[in-house]
Chain A
C-alpha cells in the first residue's frame, strides 16, 4: 500500500523540486561563477563545472580579494554599515517613543496627529527628493552620513510608528496602570516595561528597516553619492556594472559581497521577519 501512495505524490514532489530549482538557479549560477577563474567565467557556462567539480584549477578565491581590495568593496562595506546601523536604530527609537505617547498618554490632538502620521505612508520618497536635495545643500548635509540617516529615518518613520503603535497599544493596560500607581514615571514605564514587552515588534521592524536601508539604491545615490569615500555597497556595485560590465568574475563576486550580510541576517532572523510581514507592512 505504501507504493501507490508514494507514486500518487510523485508529481507533487517533482513540481516542488522544479519550482525550487528554478528559483535558486540564478543565484546558484552567480555563486559558482564568483569562485571560477577569470578566463573560465567568460568562456564557458557556469553549469559546465559539474563535469569536473573537484579539479582544483577550476576554483579560485582571487575574485573576492580583487573586488574587496582593488575595487574598494571593503570601504563600501564599511560605508554600508555606517549608513545602516544608525538609520535602523534612530527611527525605531523615535517611533517607539511616539507610539507609546499615541497609545498610552492622553493629550489633545492625539487622534488627528496619529491619523496624519499614518496618512504619510502613502507619500513616495520621490515626492521629497528635489526639495530635500536643495535643503541639504543649504544645510551642508548633502554627501554626509548624517543627512542620509535623517532621510532614511524619516522615510521609515510612518511604517515604524504604525506597526509599533499596533503592538504597544495592545499590551495589557493593567500592567501600565499598576506601575503608574506605584509611582513609576512614563519614562520608567516605557523603558522598563514597554520596550522589553515590545521586543518582538521592535525586532521585526528592525529587520525590515535594516534590509531596506542596506539594499536601498535611490536614497544613497541622491543623498550620499558615488564618491568612494562614502558610497554604499549598492551604489558601488552599480558603478561596477557601468565600468566593468563584461568582467563577470568581478561582478559576480561583487554582487555576492553585497548580498552576504542581508542574506545572513535574513536567514538568522527569518522568524521575526515573517511575523513582521504578517503584521502588515508597506513602505512609502
Chain B
C-alpha cells in the first residue's frame, strides 16, 4: 500500500498542477474527437497537424492535398475514441482524486465521497432527470397543451397504439413466461440440459433488428404458385391454402410481431425459472410423491407456489421490455396496418410530424405504464434479497 508523504508547499503545487493538466488534456481530447466526427476531413486534418507538430511538414501537406484514405481515417477515429472513452475515464477519476488529496486534511474525507459520486450524479441529472422533467413540461405546454393527453386517447391512430400496447403486454408477457416455465420444467429432466437450453437462450444475444430480419424471412410472402421461400407460407401452401401476407393482414400481423418478442424473451424466463425450480428442496418433492401426488400435482401444488417470487420477477421484467417495444414494429411494419405501439408512435410524432408536445405526452403515458410494473419488480427483488 502507498504511504502518504507530508504536505510541504512545493509538493502541493506539483500535486495540483499535474491533475489540472490531466483534466485539461481530457477536455482537449474530447474536443479533438468531436472534430474527428464532425467534419469529413477531420481525421486527415488532425493527423496533418500532428505531422506539423513533429516537424514533418511534407507528410502533412501530402495528407492535406490528397486526404486520408478511408481505412487510416477510420482507424484513427477508432483509436481516439478508445483512448478517450476507456483510458480517459480512468484519468478523470485519478485527477479528481488527486485534487481531493491536495485539499487541507480536515475537509478531504468529507469531500471525497461527493467527488466519487460527481460523474454519476451529474450524468444522471443532466442527461436523465432534467430532460425527463422537461418532457413532462413539454407535454403540457406544446401543441395542444394538456389536451395532448386527450388526443392520445381520442385520436384513432394513437388509440390503436395504446390498445396494441395492452395486447402486446398481455400476450407477449404471458407467452414468454408460460413457455419459459414449461421449457424449464421439461429440460430439467434430461441429461444434456445445458446444451438444449443454449438453443432457447441464444436469441437473447440477437438484436431486435436482427430478429426482425430473421422473422421477416420466415413470414415472407410471394404470389401464389411461385414457390414460397418463407417457412410459414411454404407450410400453408403445402396444405393447398392461399399464402398469407402476414404483415398486411390485420389481426394476424400484430400477433406475428408478438411471436418474435416471445421468441426473444422466452430464454430469459427459462433461465431464471429453471434456477428457481432447481432451488426447490428435494425433500418437499419426495414427500409429495410419497403422499401419492402425480407429477402434475407435484408441479402445481409444490413447485409453482415455491417459485412464485421468481415468477413475479420474470413477469415484471419481461413486461417492462414489452411495454417499451420499438425496434420490431419500426423495422417490420413501421406501425402501418394497425400494428402501431406507443414507442413507435412517439418516434413518428417526434421525427416525422415534429409534434414535440404530442410525442412528449406519449412518452409520459409510457412512463406511467412502466412505473407500477417496475415498482412491483423492485419490491420483489428486495424481498428475495431479504430471504437470502
Contacts and interface: CB of A to CB of B under 8 A. Distances in A.
B53 to A, nearest CB: 23
Interface of B: 1-4, 30, 33-34, 37-38, 40, 70, 74, 77-78, 81-82, 84-86, 89-90, 93, 97, 101, 110, 112-114, 116-117, 119-121, 123-124, 127-132, 134-135, 138, 183, 186-187, 189-190, 196, 198-210, 212-218, 220, 227-229, 231, 234, 263, 266, 268, 271-272, 275, 313, 316-317, 320, 324, 326-327, 330-331, 343, 346-347, 350, 356, 359-360, 362-364, 366-367, 370-371, 374-375, 377-378, 381, 384-385
A27 B202 contact: yes
Given A101-B117, A262-B207, A238 B331 contact: yes
A131 B360 CA distance: 9
Nearest to B83: A86
B270 to A, nearest CB: 10
Contacts of B326: 217-218
B37 A126 contact: no
Contacts of B40: 229
A161 interface: yes
Q: Which 8 A-B pairs give the minimum distances between C-beta atoms?
A: A86-B85, A215-B207, A266-B205, A131-B134, A98-B120, A128-B131, A131-B131, A154-B127
Query: Interface extent on A, as a size class?
Result: 35 or more
A61 interface: no
Contacts of B343: 126, 218
Interface of A is mostly: helix
B131 to A, nearest CB: 4
Given A258-B207, A262-B207, A263-B206, A117 B120 contact: yes
A274 B204 CA distance: 11
A248 B229 contact: yes
A29 B82 contact: no
| Most-contacted residue by chain B among A97, A241, A263 (CB, 10 A) | A97
Given A251-B213, A266-B202, A128 B84 contact: no
A98 B112 CA distance: 11
Given A184-B2, A255-B213, A274 B271 contact: yes
Contacts of B207: 214-217, 234, 258-259, 262
Nearest to A182: B1
Contact of A277 (B97, B216, B271, B363): B271
